[in-house]
């Protein structure tokens, strides 16, 4: 089952200053994008069927879109840490 990242923690700690921590609710973004995602799948399925009926060589646009969402879902659990001269930034995707 494909589950996209649902939240992200952003932790910024400038050197010599207070730490800034933010929680970003990505699931709200997915709720807003859901109608576009469903529309994209419907359009790619129609295009694939039309290309199959026309005996065209490439007709895997739906599979391509599905694989792109799988790659997006695989970003869950990613942790990025950046050590700069003046700050440390941590990004954790859940």
> Mean pLDDT over residues 31-50, rounded?
96
68: left (phi over 0), alpha (psi -120 to 50) or beta: alpha
Q: Examine the pLDDT at 59 and tell me if it is beyond 90.
A: no
| pTM (two decimals) | 0.79
Q: What percent of the chain has pLDDT over 90?
A: 94
Q: Which two tokens stand for residue 27?
A: 């699931």
Q: How far is CA 72 from CA 27, 29, 49, in A?
A: 13, 13, 26
Q: Strands of the chain (E only): list them.
A: 7-14, 20-25, 79-83, 87-93
């Amino acid at each position: 089952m494909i589950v996209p990242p649902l939240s992200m923690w952003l932790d910024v700690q400038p050197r010599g200053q207070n730490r800034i921590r933010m929680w970003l609710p990505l699931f709200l973004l997915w709720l807003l994008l859901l109608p576009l995602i469903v529309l994209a799948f419907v359009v790619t399925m129609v295009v694939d069927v039309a290309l199959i009926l026309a005996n065209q060589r490439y007709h895997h646009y739906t599979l391509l879109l599905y694989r792109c969402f799988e790659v997006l879902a695989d970003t869950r659990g990613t942790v990025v840490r950046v050590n700069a001269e003046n700050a440390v930034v941590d990004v954790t995707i859940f």
